[in-house]
Structure 1
């Protein structure tokens, strides 16, 4: 496939995520997505076929992104790096807006994202003390974390700025750490996360 086709495909996918986030899958149209991407409806259909094909591509992209960033942040230890924090805050908002709508509308990937986040969380909580079992704690913690995503419009209104923006996102990150740390998170994780936030905000100031 020529490079320009790859670029067009990614542009269409990104436009689809934006339109789906705004209107839901039911309210989105191939023509509207094509207009947002700056391409013809025929090209959209050439790459993805139908709206279901577009949604499947968006779902797969979100899952791949979350897996990659989780691995980089936690498994590879980059959560304490300002560059990693900046990268996430720059790239995540369109995906989080799409995910917020998908969780409400019941996208096939929404259940997979939730279950995968529960699994990742449970693995990190397995040796933490608590009166409830690690799986239940992981389910509840994941629901709480995704609640900020689903309720992003209300959270943004209450904070007075876009919750996905580079200023509010660290505020939410610090508040999350205050609520969960130190007892719930693995040893040292909260400190590394705060160090990443400090470095990111220090470079922005």
Structure 2
């Protein structure tokens, strides 16, 4: 029997992973099967098991790949890519399948989704605290809360993509939809919607809220 080369083996493994991303995004964890992933990738179920073992092993590989892709794109965007149309086109092409995967994973309620969210918060906190190129220093006393809320806002766009797509009249998990959402997010991040005075009053009111269990009269 002819022996496969290492490169062919690695290519098959990547093809299986990409097929699994799409299958998990479409059917969720419960609805996805190793056989279904194998059919989508054009390989045997035995080859899927050879590379990833079980469905859970396949899911963990997809989680790791999704998280690392998000981290890599963010790093490259902050370093120099945000102003490069070529980079943006490549990043969008790589990122949209990941976003579809994350949109489903985040509503599955699995420990894997919780790890993805926690890792994304930690990475955002690291970027914000490390003074990433092009990023202004956040004006916050609680960097962890800042990073967590920002991550939830970003992930929320993925989870609510069906509603957002309907409101905007374009699939937000497509290139045209991504462009529309990203431009809106840039406007939101660039604008100051509240006056300094209103922010100061709101901060004072929030800090004056009683703690849980306090006697409120």
Aligned to 1:198: none
Per the TM alignment, residue 107 of structure 1 is displaced from its structure 2 partner at its CA by 4.1
The answer on 1:106 being equivalent to 2:115 is no
User: What is the CA-CA distance between 1:112 and the residue it aligns to?
Assistant: 3.1
User: Would you say 1:23 and 2:33 are equivalent positions?
Assistant: no
Output aligned runs, 1:26-175, within 5 Å. 26-74=30-78, 76-123=79-126, 125=128, 127-130=137-140, 133-175=142-184
Higher relative contact order (CA 8 A, sep 6+): 1
Tell me, yes or no, if the aligned pair for 1:18 and 1:98 is still in contact at 8 Å: yes
Q: 1:107 to 1:93 in 2, by over 3 A?
A: farther
Shift in Å, 1:97:
0.7
Structure with the greater alpha carbon radius of gyration: 2
- For normalisation by structure 2, the TM-score amounts to 0.76
What SS class does the counterpart of residue 68 from structure 2 fall into?
A: helix
Q: 1:174 to 1:34 in 2, by over 3 A?
A: same
Alpha-carbon RMSD across the aligned residues, in angstroms, is 2.1
Q: TM-score, normalised by structure 1?
A: 0.80
Q: Which runs of 5+ in 2 are unaligned?
A: 130-136, 194-217
Q: For residues 183 and 114 of structure 1, do their structure 2 counterparts lie closer, same or farther at Cα, with a shift above 3 Å needed? A: farther
CA shift at 1:31, angstroms?
1.2
Question: Which 4+ residue blocks in structure 1 deviate beyond 6 angstroms?
Answer: none
- Structure (1/2) with the larger helix percentage: 1
Deviation of 1:119 (Å) = 2.9
CA displacement, residues 14-52 of structure 1 (integer Å, 9 cap, x when unaligned): 111111111111111111111111111111111111101
Number of equivalent positions: 182
- Distance in 2, Cα, partners of 1:28 & 1:120: 29
Deviation of the 1:138 alpha carbon: 2.0
SS in structure 1 opposite 2:107? helix
Cα distance in 2 for residues equivalent to 1:87 and 1:139: 27
Instruction: Give unpaired runs (5+ residues) of structure 1.
Output: 185-205
